[in-house]
Amino acid sequence: MAFSTRNCIILIALLLFSTSSSSASPWGKKQKHKPCKELVLYFHDIIYNGKNAGNATSAIVAAPEGANLTILAPQFHFGNIVVFDDPITLDNNLHSNPVGRAQGLYIYDTKNTFTSWLAFSFSLNYTAYKGTINFVGADPILVKTRDISVVGGTGDFFMHRGVATIMTDAFEGEVYFRLRVDIKFYECW
């Protein structure tokens, strides 16, 4: 039987479908596991720079010798610790009604490129979910998508574990950035 154009189109469609429905990881592999729960959320970080006390949602609180607390440190900000309390929204609009707060710390942790390390919690309180989600992981911010660990949860996320994929959705200079977080739980209770 001849391989018709129609068969070819169906084959391509199937291939495309299988690609888009699998979850590619930043490590270039397809995950074979399906999440038992998934959430996509955004959070918005405005770093205090000495002039934006009203709007700032985070502050540099530690820096290596010779650096200060209103300008990120030289050498790719190596050594800065930032404490944050950022609004979480369902879409990418800073002014949307927040559904919770992202709270914790991040560190700039490399001297010759921009990488950070994250330890924080989402406290969610809206119609769909009430509870907390706890995250820990490396965040090489120049990579398009980065995976961190979901190490536990409470409330509606009681004992959950999973992996969260982070993308920098937007940024303005070194003061504002917005992260898109795709949280996939693989252990639900």
Name the site residues for a second copy (rule: CB under 8 A): 25-29, 31, 33, 48, 50, 59-65, 68-70, 78-81, 83-85, 101, 103-105, 107-111, 115, 117, 119-121, 123, 130-132, 134, 136-138, 140, 147-156, 158-159, 161-163, 186-187, 189
Nearer to a second copy, 52 or 92 (CB): 52
Within 8 A by CB and 6+ apart from 117, the residues are 106, 107, 109, 137, 138, 139
Nearer to a second copy, 12 or 138 (CB): 138
Nearest distance from C-beta of residue 132 to a second copy, angstroms:
5
Q: Report how far residue 47's alpha carbon sits from residue 45's, in angstroms, rounded to the nearest whole number.
A: 6
Nearer to a second copy, 2 or 139 (CB): 139
Alpha helices (H) in 75-143, listed in sequence order: none
Scored b (16 or more CB within 10 A) or e, 53-92 reads eeebbbbbeebeeebeeeebbeebbbbbebbbebbbbeee
Nearest distance from C-beta of residue 162 to a second copy, angstroms:
8
Nearest distance from C-beta of residue 50 to a second copy, angstroms:
7
Nearest distance from C-beta of residue 168 to a second copy, angstroms:
17
Nearest to 185 by CA among 162, 154, 156, 155: 162
Nearer to a second copy, 50 or 92 (CB): 50
Nearest distance from C-beta of residue 119 to a second copy, angstroms:
6
Nearer to a second copy, 43 or 48 (CB): 48
CB 39 within 8 A of CB 183: yes
